Structure 1
Amino acid sequence: MVREFLRFRHRIGIAIVLVLLSGTAFNGYASQLPAGVNDSVTEDEAPPQAPESGLQDVGGQTDSDRGEPYYSEVLEQWKQQGIPEASGQITVRGTAYAGKSDNARIEAGSFENKDDVLVWAAESDEWIEYEIDVEREGLYAIDISYHPFVGEKYRKPITLNVLFDQSRPYLESRSIQLYRKWQDAMPPEKDEYGDEIRPASQDVSDWMTARLRDSGGAYERPLLWHLTAGKHVLRLSGSDPLAIESIMLQAPDPIDDYKTVASKRTGEAAAVSGDAIEIEAERAAWKNDSSVSLSYDNDVASTPYERGKLIYNAINGERWATGNQEITWTFDVPEDGLYKIAMRFQQSYSSNRSTFRSISVNGKAPFSEMEAYRFPYASGWQGTTLQDGNGEPYEFELKKGTNTLTMRVTQAPLKPIMVDLDHIISGLKDRALDITALTGGAVDPNRTWNIERDLPDFVAQFQDLYDRLRDVEKRLISVNGRSDALTQGMVTVEKDMQELLGNINHIAYEADKLTGMQGKLADYLQQLGTQPLQLDRLYIVPASEDVPKLEASFFQKVKGGLFDFLHTFKPKTKLGNGEKGELNVWVQRGRDYVNLIQQLADEMFTPETGIKVKVNLLPSSDQLVLMNAAGIAPDVALGLSQDLPFEYAVRGGLYDLTQFPDFDQIYERFAPGTWIPFYYDGGYYGIAETQTFEMLYYRKDVLSRLGFDVPDTWDDVYEMLPTLQQNNLNFPPVSNAAFIYQNGAEFFEQDGMKTALTTPKGFEGFKEWTDLYNVHAADQQLASFFQSFRSGAVPIGIADITAYIQLMVAAPELNGLWGIAPIPGKLQQGGTVARWMSGGVQSGVMFKSTKMAEEGWKFLKWWTSAEAQERFGNDIEMLNGQAFRWNTSNIEAFMTLPWKPEDAASILEQWRWFKEIPNVPGSYYLARELQNAWNRTVLDGINPRSSLETAVKDIEREMSRKLQEFKFIDANGKPVKSLDLPVVKEPWKGVEPYVESGIEAD
């Protein structure tokens, strides 16, 4: 009966949606949802910022649904209309602004050796406007002379939303990035074994002039704007500080093909002779993204090369693959003349797929063939001379003296294909919605369908999608030069579509296949956006000379490979080794983290304490278990999951940190809820290093269109859900901790012998959790919150703080269109909203076998101090880019990281309510059995109380077995001693000093 009722209720819901969809008023409204922003922006609207490539990872809503066309589509329209390119130049001083938002922090003054410039110290969404007087209609490019703010909290590119007369002509103008100049600190330092340590990137930004282009590298040439004759208002909006000297509008630079350029050369441009100029790729003059890092390669032909040593001798191809990531090298030529350009590269990341780079000499593509030069796939290192399709080398005209060579990631040849693939995915989504609306979402094998009758246009539309996908596949092969894994995947999707077309009425029973096709094609679309290329060295070769040998011979490869193989049997150090009196620290993180911790310990900790520290890389926590069992455990281990300290403590393997007299002072450093998972039998056996938060993410544009404020309580969420669902939107799954804790329940009784889930408050929390899906129809599962939120299919939901970094780094087109807030809570007596929520921590521990307990405790105190955490967080982000934001659990250090003030305020509010789940013997059953209870209640329609009681029995059965094993109960189940779990009932007051001063300081 329960299942039938649920099915009936679902069908009724679908019927209501169909009725609404048939209404003219709703059609006009629904066509705008879920939208980005209007093509026009009002004076009072918070100006959004902007896109990467104009393409989305499709999870439901695509950019093409937004009502904003791509630049390529608009440019084609302008060309068809015969709009000419601009003539002349229009220059506006940065200080000559005509208007600004009320919150804009701007002033005219001096900045970095230039006077009379606009200093725009933006902190949140702000805008400034300029009046532009255009004499002649045309297509204009825009140059900006600017200087970024430089400092530890300024690391990301400057993102601007560009509007003319309060409108955007195309999607890409929503997010245009002005980049910084980064330089690796060379030469790299070396460790005690002679291995190089990856150098950190330094911001060496100065005054720069940049022509505005899309932020995803999707087009060969910079963006253009159509301006009619007369006055126009240019608005720049953003939240990143910079100084502006001037803004120039002018015609785009003409770029001829190689044949035309060569024909125009004078007699002075002659072939020259002499030695080739060698440029080590890792010795770049600058790069525009700090995350473009160096890598080490042990191929014998890679330079520099030193047997048995780790040498950073190449550009990391995986980290030089997206957006407009650009690297510039400088070199000196001895005389004017013609030169060839050669390079040694590796392009083996995606089987049979080519990679593209835009190549500039002295700041400009010398001819059109360099705007998107193809680097073909091969399994190993390749040597190439830049050449035409017939293998004839291109000759570049260079002047005597210093020159620059720049290579920029571009996906321009693939852009039209990606746009079409995006539209195909959107079409498949629409066809899936057609089938769902027809069948009510239920598969009835006893029902016979006639798709051509019931959905008259469906077959023609589906056939069109199939034809377009086949065309995309063929074009991709043409651009790529051969078939690759992506085109083979498309063939598989085509076969599935062909089968459905052959038996079209059967599609009503296999609507899930349409969803699967969307997912596959969306994954291919995402892969097309990456263009990896590893680079070892470059050569500038006089045109009359031969190019140096760029690849190792067969015998060199065999000899080098044999040496590398034998060298693997000679490890430089073993985890268990260490000098006497040296603190042995193991770290379960990457090599960059280990090297940096070692560097900071040598620089900060050892000089202050006199304690030497050896930091070792721990590849896996399994090794930690084996080493501990063998009696060769370290003194200290870092980077462990929050469950491991309890597992070691219950077996007597860790040191109880409460034994140190100053423990209570260190305890105050962190939120009480952070300590809970490290508690065992009256002691604390771990200390938090990093901490993740569950936060509420929301799309400002979608909520604004729907007329909703950011929800403060769960009642607010329940109120907005019907409207979201009527518009094919929804709320994603939520973990059980929010509902258990916010209803005043605990997961375990305080003595740790049983769960507390069957108490009235515990059951209330479980029921509210399952009611979110059974009653309010929230999404039961979600493959990717990031993709769905980015596309707009999920405009609001709860995710951890790592999603914040993902959105900042990988979805610049949404800057200004989304925000974070504390999660919804439960209104308490007195007006407080309880927002209890867990998250996750990584921990540091000290092993009980250590003979250096005092030294180990001093190290843990130093490592988790504000000074060490601030330095480490800043350095690791400088080394690897914003994607490696260090989520330190030290609140003082956390507030020094470059957070937006409004985002920091939201995080601080949620920090008050951070509360992890305790660990007790057998508690590893908790998550599994609660999920089973959820499955029974939500998927099978079983009564929630009965389902929860079944789960509790299974959890407590395992708990009883483990409690007996660790002597907390006897063989008869009678308590021997209590775990006496810590109780956290009040929000952490330690946040309060940072609520005002911390945000203002930022």
Structure 2
Amino acid sequence: MICGHKLRSTSIMSLLALLIAGAVCPLSVSGRELRYGEYLQSWQGKGRPELELVVPAGVLLEEGKSMEWTVDVPEEGLYNLTLAYLPVPGRGASMELELMLNGERPFSEAGYLLFHRIFGDSGPVLRDSLGNEIRSAQVEYPALRRQPLSDSRGYTQEPFLFYLAEGPNTISLTARQESIYIDELVICQIPAPRPYAEVAAEWPEVHTRDVFIKIQGEAALYRSHSTLFAISDMGDPTVEPYHPAQIRLNSIGGWRFNQPGQWISWEFEVPEAGLYTIAFKAKQNLRRGIPSNRRVLIDGEVPFAELDAVEFPYSTRYQMHRLGGEEPYLIYLEAGRHELTLEVVLGAQASLVQAVEDSLYELNTIYRQLIMVLSPDPDPLRDYQLEERIPQVLVAMEEQAEILHSIADEMEAASGQGGGHMVTVRSLALQLESMAQKPESIQVRLDEYRDNLSALGTWLLQTVEQPLQIDYLLVTSPEQELPRAEPTFWEAARHELAKLAASFTHDYSALGDLGLAQGGDRTIKVWIGTGRDQAQALKTMIEDSFTPQTGIRVDLELVDMNILLQATLAGQGPDVALGVDPSQPMNFGLRGAVLDLAQFPDFPEIAGRFYPASLEPFTFRSWVFALPEQLPFFMLFYRQDILDELGIEVPQTWDEVLQVIPELQKLNMNFGLPWTEIKRNVGGRVGETPAGVGSLSASQGVLSFLMFLSQKGMDLFGDDAAQTNLHTQEAYEAFQFWTDLYELYDLPVEYNAENRFRLGEMPLLISPYTLYNTLTVFAPELRGEWGFAPVPGTRRADGTIDRTVLASGTATVILSGAQDPEAAWEFVKWWTKSETQTRYALDLEALMGAAARYPTANPETLRSLPWPLEDFRKLEEQLKWVRGVPEVPGGYMVGRHLDNAFRRVVNDQAPVRETLLDYNRVMNEEIRAKRLELGLDEVEK
């Protein structure tokens, strides 16, 4: 066996699908990098020489660095490459490498090669004072691993093949994310696993008896991601262990165990050598109509071809799945310990899913071609003569319709089911056919087409997901009967009655004590307004870190933070509140409801932990009423593929933006600058708490204006925030520029940033950098086609570019009613430490995925999060220009009336200077009234 790894050979269906995927319409040929399927076709006919070349390395490849090796290949051909690597301590993310052959990247997928870490439980399961089981933290267990270079998204099931010419070839690896120790590279041929019948014929016929080994799913030995921890299933009385009301960690997987390349392994021991069967009690209840697939490895190898992609069909309840079904596979195992691994794969759907992704990219290109002629809002009565102006687009529609129909046929045949799951694909195919045949109908169906593209993108994400929840595994001798997986009628009835009774007696929002540390007599109450998983993660951190270090006990309560004001007025508030809206510290502080943190002797040292900008919203005079937690700020997002097509560079200044906007609008595309009317509920992304109505940062549009104002060197408020500076010439110019962008340059006021960016309608847009996380997860077809950069700026007299943006985020406060302020301050200091914030941020990402990456206000924590190095450097560059949104007495009126002034100018064409001055007078009157109410003009500090 060469390379020590076996994988399934390419099926005829997979090759056909790759051909389909490569048969893209002419619109896609220009500008997009070669895909693996196309690369493989270009080397058709080349042999696969049976040889193995070991390239010693023994080097630490640091993040952002490259390493090159020259290899003398005796015979040209297609080869697999295997990497022996060791994960090194880092930020906990998988390592990502880029491969170059002879100075060039052979295909796009070679730029995103993932190598996973190894995680496991840090200790045994704990039980809190309420009887709930608490999972242990996930820690890394570094070990040397061998992994073939393969598709990180799982679209190609087999390891990549690379063409190497006879003679010297250079192989270069660049660490795009995280550092990695490379032990050696192996150039070889990885044989495909042989069929079961062929392999079984070579095994000794040693039949075992009376062996029944049960391995609980939650007792997994290792896993590829820290997100694959034990979970609780309280909906089935047959799970082990079970309790109707208390949390029991009784399974593993579920929706977290769904991405290709993820794996979980278990260890078991058989008493004697012989033939065994393997079964799983599992359920796949999240993907209706299509199965989830797993590759089964024993001791690191796929024993035979049939285990390369084992299907687990959809079921609302747990089912027993014995490998081989009615005629189970008899697998020979030597006596002793073995490791069984389940790896997520796409199975027969793999190449078809890639074909859908390629088609989606082409369909987005078709949409852009259409809006270049029609505009996003076409006249339904006009004859656009599409047959004459863009006939190639109509041809491309027919081609893509045929491709989508073929994909739907193949997937239905592969799953053995028709109907529901393929409705989205079929509907879009039928619409394409109809529009191609009746071009005059396209302008009235453009919105429907855009909606269908969005639906296809969602379908693609859902189809790639392969969830599976596992209760336990069985390794048995062949004669053993499998236990029942579903509850009886009486078991189910008893379960429902027990749940009903528990609903009257059990407090599901309570967080019990773990008893990890004995605190002293000092206790503080802390409120947090996140989800239960985040609160439980914090509770664990408190009990294994804060309380042992300080002897202070913490009563952590999960509450709706909207009641903080009422609770404070009633004298029932907490000592410390986490995740507080950025406007509240100032409002509470000036009324004496929260403590001035600057009074503590070590405050200057603690304040040094943060970006200076993040403290500005909570600072007035010498008072500081909160410490920051989050700091989301603007970045410029761009579609590199579209800019390349148009010959446009990423703009560096606003003058360049004004030159780019007409070029985009000629093609009915546009530039995105956020404007959001101030509302009571302002939406936010996962991991980001939105600002409330009382905050200047409640409107991203106001933040845009403040960006322009600050880039002109003017602050929003004058000395001591006694009045605004909106009467100045700089403010007038900034306000006029802001409104002109919408009135004269016709930027859209309301839009969905994710969808317009994905469709290409808006190849340049400004958004909080948390959009990066959303696009990474929800727009996989754009991988490598987009990026972000610091915002455009204003060129100064010395030639430098001022890229100032304003930002604010959530905060931590100590309420003035705290019984033990010193203990509360100790907690706040612990909570804002970089080590604590980093652990919490990584736990949050482990719980909820990359879309929940924490927009931290702590520089050390930001460095510790799993950002690719190139992207992190861009964030660091923009952070040099970030300033805090000023929160001042009466400031809520400033945000409200800037919003009103904007709408009067843009919607009603009111004169700019007079409108701004009129509203400025009202703002200053409110500021004076608030200062008088609070007695600020009589207070000197």
Q: What's the TM-score once normalised by structure 1's chain length?
A: 0.78
Pair 1:673 & 2:613 matched: yes
Q: In 2, distance between residues paired with 1:440 and 1:710?
A: 23
1:585, distance to aligned residue in structure 2 (A):
0.9
1:727, distance to aligned residue in structure 2 (A):
8.6
CA RMSD of aligned residues (A): 4.3
2:573 maps to what in 1? 633
Pair 1:142 & 2:105 matched: no
2:5 maps to what in 1? none
Is the Cα–Cα contact under 8 Å of residues 375 and 668 in structure 2 kept in the other structure? no
2:64 maps to what in 1? 124
1:255 maps to what in 2? 193
Is the Cα–Cα contact under 8 Å of residues 635 and 766 in structure 2 kept in the other structure? yes
1:258, distance to aligned residue in structure 2 (A):
3.0
1:890 maps to what in 2? 858
Q: In 2, distance between residues paired with 1:925 and 1:62?
A: 51
Structure 1 779/595 Cα, relative in aligned 2: closer, same or farther at 3 Å? same
1:307, distance to aligned residue in structure 2 (A):
5.1
Pair 1:800 & 2:768 matched: yes
Q: Paired residue for 2:654, among 693, 714, 722?
A: 714
Pair 1:347 & 2:284 matched: yes
1:740 maps to what in 2? 709
Is the Cα–Cα contact under 8 Å of residues 290 and 880 in structure 1 kept in the other structure? no
Pair 1:783 & 2:724 matched: no
The number of aligned residues is: 884
Q: Paired residue for 1:488, among 406, 423, 431?
A: 423
1:472, distance to aligned residue in structure 2 (A):
2.8
Give identity over the alignment, percent. 28
> SS of the residue aligned with 2:817?
coil
Once the two structures are superposed, residues 685-725 of structure 1 have per-residue CA deviations (whole angstroms, 9 ceiling, x without a partner) of 32212323333456788879988876554335445666677
> SS of the residue aligned with 1:315?
strand
Once the two structures are superposed, residues 575-630 of structure 1 have per-residue CA deviations (whole angstroms, 9 ceiling, x without a partner) of 79999741111122344443443444445444554432222223x21343454454
1:825, distance to aligned residue in structure 2 (A):
2.6
2:50 maps to what in 1? 87
1:752, distance to aligned residue in structure 2 (A):
5.9
> SS of the residue aligned with 2:163?
strand
1:848 maps to what in 2? 816
Q: In 1, distance between residues paired with 2:626 and 2:639?
A: 38
2:306 maps to what in 1? 369
Pair 1:477 & 2:421 matched: no
Is the Cα–Cα contact under 8 Å of residues 162 and 236 in structure 1 kept in the other structure? yes
Structure 1 603/510 Cα, relative in aligned 2: closer, same or farther at 3 Å? closer
1:860 maps to what in 2? 828
> SS of the residue aligned with 2:672?
coil
1:689 maps to what in 2? 629
Q: In 2, distance between residues paired with 1:979 and 1:424?
A: 68
Tell me the amino acid that sits aligned with residue 458 of structure 2: D
Q: In 1, distance between residues paired with 2:604 and 2:245?
A: 48
Structure 1 484/289 Cα, relative in aligned 2: closer, same or farther at 3 Å? farther
Q: In 1, distance between residues paired with 2:30 and 2:228?
A: 33
Is the Cα–Cα contact under 8 Å of residues 724 and 924 in structure 2 kept in the other structure? no
Once the two structures are superposed, residues 924-975 of structure 1 have per-residue CA deviations (whole angstroms, 9 ceiling, x without a partner) of 566566556656666x5x54744x86588679769978986x6846xxxxx9
Structure 1 436/634 Cα, relative in aligned 2: closer, same or farther at 3 Å? closer
1:204, distance to aligned residue in structure 2 (A):
1.0
Structure 1 204/431 Cα, relative in aligned 2: closer, same or farther at 3 Å? closer
1:325, distance to aligned residue in structure 2 (A):
0.6
1:432, distance to aligned residue in structure 2 (A):
3.2
2:484 maps to what in 1? 549
Q: In 2, distance between residues paired with 1:508 and 1:261?
A: 60
Q: Paired residue for 1:214, among 132, 151, 154?
A: 151
2:502 maps to what in 1? 567
Is the Cα–Cα contact under 8 Å of residues 196 and 305 in structure 2 kept in the other structure? yes
Tell me the amino acid that sits aligned with residue 278 of structure 2: I
Structure 1 426/154 Cα, relative in aligned 2: closer, same or farther at 3 Å? closer
Pair 1:402 & 2:337 matched: yes
Tell me the amino acid that sits aligned with residue 730 of structure 2: K
> SS of the residue aligned with 1:692?
coil
Q: In 1, distance between residues paired with 2:511 and 2:56?
A: 64
Structure 1 722/447 Cα, relative in aligned 2: closer, same or farther at 3 Å? closer
Q: Paired residue for 1:518, among 438, 453, 464?
A: 453
Q: Paired residue for 1:72, among 16, 27, 37?
A: 37
Q: In 2, distance between residues paired with 1:877 and 1:507?
A: 43
1:767 maps to what in 2? 736
1:817, distance to aligned residue in structure 2 (A):
8.3
Q: In 1, distance between residues paired with 2:131 and 2:895?
A: 46
> SS of the residue aligned with 2:578?
strand
Once the two structures are superposed, residues 484-516 of structure 1 have per-residue CA deviations (whole angstroms, 9 ceiling, x without a partner) of 654233344456446646753132344333333
> SS of the residue aligned with 1:741?
helix
1:865, distance to aligned residue in structure 2 (A):
3.5
Structure 1 902/213 Cα, relative in aligned 2: closer, same or farther at 3 Å? closer
> SS of the residue aligned with 1:568?
helix
Once the two structures are superposed, residues 848-900 of structure 1 have per-residue CA deviations (whole angstroms, 9 ceiling, x without a partner) of 33322232233223322445445555666677776665544234555566667
1:145, distance to aligned residue in structure 2 (A):
1.6
Tell me the amino acid that sits aligned with residue 140 of structure 1: Y
Q: In 2, distance between residues paired with 1:698 and 1:585?
A: 41
Is the Cα–Cα contact under 8 Å of residues 509 and 558 in structure 2 kept in the other structure? no
Once the two structures are superposed, residues 315-352 of structure 1 have per-residue CA deviations (whole angstroms, 9 ceiling, x without a partner) of 13221111311111121112222222211212122333
Runs of 5+ in structure 1 lacking a partner? 1-52, 95-117, 970-974, 983-1002
Pair 1:273 & 2:209 matched: yes
Higher mean alpha-carbon deviation, 213-222 vs 183-192, is at 183-192
Tell me the amino acid that sits aligned with residue 90 of structure 1: L
Is the Cα–Cα contact under 8 Å of residues 200 and 878 in structure 1 kept in the other structure? no
Is the Cα–Cα contact under 8 Å of residues 73 and 164 in structure 2 kept in the other structure? no
**Structure 2 counterparts to residues 32-431 of structure 1, below 5 A:** 66-75=31-40, 78=43, 81-94=44-57, 118-135=58-75, 137-149=76-88, 151=89, 153-239=90-176, 240-262=178-200, 264-266=201-203, 268-298=204-234, 299-306=236-243, 308-388=245-325, 391-431=326-366
Q: In 2, distance between residues paired with 1:400 and 1:653?
A: 69
Tell me the amino acid that sits aligned with residue 709 of structure 2: I
Structure 1 162/911 Cα, relative in aligned 2: closer, same or farther at 3 Å? closer
Structure 1 198/782 Cα, relative in aligned 2: closer, same or farther at 3 Å? farther
Pair 1:616 & 2:557 matched: yes
Once the two structures are superposed, residues 274-304 of structure 1 have per-residue CA deviations (whole angstroms, 9 ceiling, x without a partner) of 1321111122221122222321112322222
Q: In 1, distance between residues paired with 2:33 and 2:454?
A: 23
Q: What's the TM-score once normalised by structure 2's chain length?
A: 0.82
1:35 maps to what in 2? none
Q: In 2, distance between residues paired with 1:822 and 1:435?
A: 31
